[in-house]
């Protein structure tokens, strides 16, 4: 019985597109387009995509936002996935809630730690930065989880921001 069960499990692992610890992180690599209709609103941006590049224990996420024909902007986040080393990323503008009077404050950098969870199916990021609002700088913590679907074609981003009670959920599909 035990042998039969183990064989069945091995069969499942080898037949399906599910993830192994070794290739899990690499599965996130590629370009992902946001399904705007099924995501937390990103207006005024019309389009968003994320390109994920994985090299060893370094992940580079490049986000592209576009609004109409003439407004395009990108930001890049580089992170070590050892779970402990913060990486400082230069950042010019706060793009996430365009409607608010919120700018990047402090040293104009965000400090990001990352690690893989669940055998590389989930990329967890923890970001700290200073946002500047009307009254000055305010420390903000952002928790992100990028979760890959079983078929590897969908990427969900769950985001919690210390200043916002509304969880943000973004659904990307592989491009």
Partner 1 sequence: MKNTFSFLISFHRPSDLMATKRRKDAQRKSPNSDSVFAFFCASSWLKTPSLVASAILALGFLTPALHAVPGVPGPAPKEAYLIPVKDNWEITISDKKSPNFGKEGALAENLMLIGLQGLANTDAPRVYIEYPETWHFHDFNPLKDFYISKYGVNFTRLATPDAALTALGHFAKGYVVWDRHVRTSINVALTAAGVLRGLVIDESLIPLAEKHGLKPLADFRGKFTGQTDMQIYTWAYDKYWKDCSRDYIIWMGGAGGNVMEPGVADLAIAFHAFVTDLSSNPKDKEEIAFQRKLLAQLKPTAWIMGWHPYSKDTEGQWITLTSGFGLKAIGLNTFPNGTFMSQIGFSPGFTMTNNNHVTRQSVVTAEKKVYICLVQSDSMGIGAWTQPERGQIPYNWEVGVDGAQWYPAAMEMFAKDKSPNDYFIGGQSGYMYPAAVPADRFPGLMKEMNARMPAMDQHTVGIMDHTDRGIPIGYFDLPKRVVDEYYAGAPDVIGFINGYAAAHTFDVRNGQAMMSYDYYLDEHRPVASAIADLDELMRLNPIRPYFMLIHVRESNSIKRVMSIINGLEEKPVLEPLDTFLKLAASSPTFKVRYKDEKPAGKAWDAQTQ
Rule CB under 8 A: which residues touch partner 1?
A: 40-41, 43-44, 65, 67, 70-76, 90-95, 97-103, 108-109, 131-136, 138, 140, 161, 163-166
Closer to partner 1 by Cβ: residue 17 or 139: 139
Closer to partner 1 by Cβ: residue 106 or 152: 106
By the 8 A CB rule, do 136 and 156 touch? Answer: no
CB of 93 to partner 1, least distance (A): 4
Please state whether beta strands 136-148 and 164-174 pair in parallel, antiparallel, or not at all (unpaired): unpaired
Give strand pairing partners of 59.
54, 79
By the 8 A CB rule, do 27 and 19 touch? Answer: yes
Closer to partner 1 by Cβ: residue 131 or 148: 131
CB of 23 to partner 1, least distance (A): 31
Closer to partner 1 by Cβ: residue 29 or 133: 133
Q: Give CA–CA dist 117/147, Å, rounded.
A: 9
DSSP 8-class letter at 9: H
């Amino acid at each position: 019985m035990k042998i039969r069960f183990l064989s069945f499990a091995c069969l499942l692992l080898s037949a399906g597109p599910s993830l192994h610890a070794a290739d899990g992180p690499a599965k996130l690599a590629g370009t992902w387009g946001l399904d705007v209709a099924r995501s937390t609103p990103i207006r005024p941006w019309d389009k968003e995509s994320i390109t994920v590049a994985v090299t060893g224990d370094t992940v580079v996420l490049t986000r592209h936002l576009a609004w109409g024909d003439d407004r395009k902007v990108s930001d890049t986040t580089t992170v070590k996935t050892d779970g402990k080393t913060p990486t400082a990323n230069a950042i010019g503008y706060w793009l996430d809630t365009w409607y608010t009077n919120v700018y990047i404050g402090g040293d104009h950098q965000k400090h990001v730690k990352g690690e893989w969870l669940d055998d590389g199916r989930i990329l967890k990021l923890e970001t700290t930065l200073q946002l500047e609002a009307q009254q000055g700088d305010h420390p903000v913590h952002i928790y992100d989880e990028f979760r890959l679907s079983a078929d590897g074609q969908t990427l969900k981003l769950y985001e919690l921001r210390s200043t916002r009670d509304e969880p943000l959920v973004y659904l990307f599909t592989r491009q």
